[in-house]
Chain A
Amino acid sequence: MKREIPIIIVGVTGVVMFFQYFIPTGWSEFIFTYGQDWVMVIGILSLPLGIWSLVKANVLKLKDPKERFYSAVLLAGFLAMVLTGLKRESFEAGSVFMKLFNTILIPIQATVFSLLAFFIASAAYRAFRARSVLATVLLITAFLVMLRFIPLGPISTANLGAVAWILSVPNMAAKRAIMMGIGLGAAATAIKIILGIERTYMGRD
């Protein structure tokens, strides 16, 4: 029963949610919204688990002199954001929560993301070498597309037609093939889960 009950729940839910999509009635809409509420509730229940795991791991690291500083910063940041964000008014402009968000979180995230420019430059220098026919095609295509998206005045507009063709013909053909493959794969996996053939989502016994 430990395995059968989850399989029955998943199977029945899958079939009901599949058919409701094609039945435009009030009842169908009710089942859909009710079902989606359940998804959100289940997802939210996993949040305390994540918080517990994060706090536990970092409290343990406080004992390690090498890791102590980083864990202390993480826990202090976590507590500060939780405590200042508890009230509804916390989200209003000028609140302590928003000040922390604007002055600490935004610069940190923006800085980390901006490092990408350095890595991309280094990777482009090493990767874009016309070593073979395919690599040459990739290099020329990348060059044309890159020139199109940089504001280089007449150079950017000169290849507008060529880039439009690259993006909407070969690019689209490749993307469509990939996406159709993903779609068919997802549908096949969904059918296997609904029929109880695919059971890895239950973990090990």
Chain B
Amino acid sequence: MSFLEKMMLIDRRWIYLSIGLAVIIPVVVQFEVPVSVSPEVKKIYDFVENLNAGDYLFIAVDYDPSSMAELNPMAEAVLNQAFAKDLKVIIVTLAQFGPGMVEDLTTRLAAAHHRVRGEDYVFLGYRPYPAITIMLMGINFRVPFPVDHYSVPLDSMPMMRDIRNFADVKAVIDFTAGNTADFWITYGVGRFDFPLAIGITGVMAADYYQYLQSGQIFGIIPGVKGAAEYEQLVGFPGKGKEQMAYQVIAHSVIIAFILISNIAYFATRKQKQQLGGGR
């Protein structure tokens, strides 16, 4: 077997080892990656930035620990901006393990910004059946959530007194790793017509850009790069920016393997054609 043929049949264990090394390198040799901000991320930042203190922002934390590496940094960046601007934040989760994610985010960020639960932000909690929960919240938040995650009645909270449904919030920002974004677009925007932006994992990005063009969402934060862009805009460097070094190295390795595979493929094909044995 020639060298080129060997390059086309690299054992998957070598690929695994290369990826493993690629994610270890930035731990040993730390470096910063410059990030350019995309228009779709900037739109969300500008929207939140132009809100006035006391305006209501609705945040849906629809992801589990499996995708928190990608989605936590963006949720954190948006919450940082919202708390810094003194916005009132209503949080919900439609993911099974979402309450743990929200608990972690709100505990850290509310303490950092001196925000009080029930006065500055409220965590409604988790309900199964995303489509139904979204439609019920469109009627009144109190229908699916008469009490918040900690069993405090919504009516007893100062910030929730005059707030009924999506018509009373300036926008909804959904962070999701699954098809919950589809439910927000179809049953939320489609029926109640509120401004929606989404933060999604990198692999989902291509599926949701179409909604940007159709105007059903006004912004999109794609993957950890989007999170890093948002962190840069907000001025709170976090895990998103930190992960950029790992992204660059790991993706460069993947690109290198694709190039090796194709170069070897074309070279061997040419050799076979010259020998008259190939197609």
Binding site for B on A (CB under 8 A): 29, 32-33, 36, 39-40, 43-44, 88, 91-93, 98, 101-102, 105-106, 108-110, 112-114, 117-118, 120-122, 124-126, 128-131, 139, 143, 145-146, 149-153, 156-157, 160, 167-168, 171-172, 175-176
Contact = CB atoms under 8 A, between A and B. Distances in A.
Contact of B16 (A118, A156, A168): A118
Contacts of B129: 36, 39-40, 43
A117 B247 CA distance: 11
B38 to A, nearest CB: 7
A203 B247 CA distance: 48
B261 A113 contact: no
B67 A125 contact: no
Contacts of A146: 251, 254-255
A122 B16 contact: yes
Interface residues of B, number: 65
A131 B268 CA distance: 12
Nearest to A106: B65
Interface of B: 10, 12, 15-16, 18-20, 23, 33-36, 38, 64-69, 97, 99-100, 103-104, 107, 127-129, 132, 135-136, 139, 143, 149-151, 202, 205-207, 209-210, 212-214, 222-223, 225, 228, 244, 247-248, 250-255, 257-258, 260-262, 265-266
A88 B150 CA distance: 7
Contacts of A129: 261-262, 265
Chain B CB count within 10 A is highest, among A108, A121, A171, for A121
A101 B98 CA distance: 11
A146 B252 CA distance: 10
A40 B223 CA distance: 32
Given A125-B254, A150-B225, A168-B212, 9 more contacts: A43-B128, A117-B250, A118-B19, A121-B250, A122-B12, A125-B260, A126-B261, A145-B206, A175-B207
Contacts of B225: 149-151
A121 B19 contact: yes
A171 B19 contact: no
B100 A151 contact: no
Nearest to B126: A91
Contacts of A130: 262, 265-266
Contact of A112 (B34, B66, B265): B66
Contact of A176 (B104, B107, B210): B210
A101 B101 CA distance: 10
A152 B247 CA distance: 10
10 contacts: A36-B135, A109-B64, A121-B254, A130-B265, A149-B223, A150-B252, A157-B36, A167-B206, A171-B206, A176-B210
A128 B248 contact: no
Contact of A172 (B65, B68, B107, B209): B209
A40 B132 contact: yes
Nearest to A142: B258
B66 A109 contact: yes
A39 to B, nearest CB: 6
Nearest 5 Cβ contacts at the A-B interface? A113-B66, A167-B209, A109-B65, A172-B210, A106-B65
Given A121-B15, A125-B10, A129-B262, A98 B222 contact: no
A124 B150 contact: no
Contacts of A145: 206
Given A40-B128, A98-B100, A151 B68 contact: no
Given A110-B65, A157-B36, A167-B210, A152 B262 contact: no
Contacts of B265: 129-131
B33 to A, nearest CB: 5
A71 to B, nearest CB: 22
A2 to B, nearest CB: 28
A125 to B, nearest CB: 4
Contacts of B210: 167-168, 171-172, 175-176
Contacts of B150: 88, 91-92
A92 B107 CA distance: 9
Nearest to A100: B100
B140 to A, nearest CB: 9
A39 B205 contact: no
B117 to A, nearest CB: 11
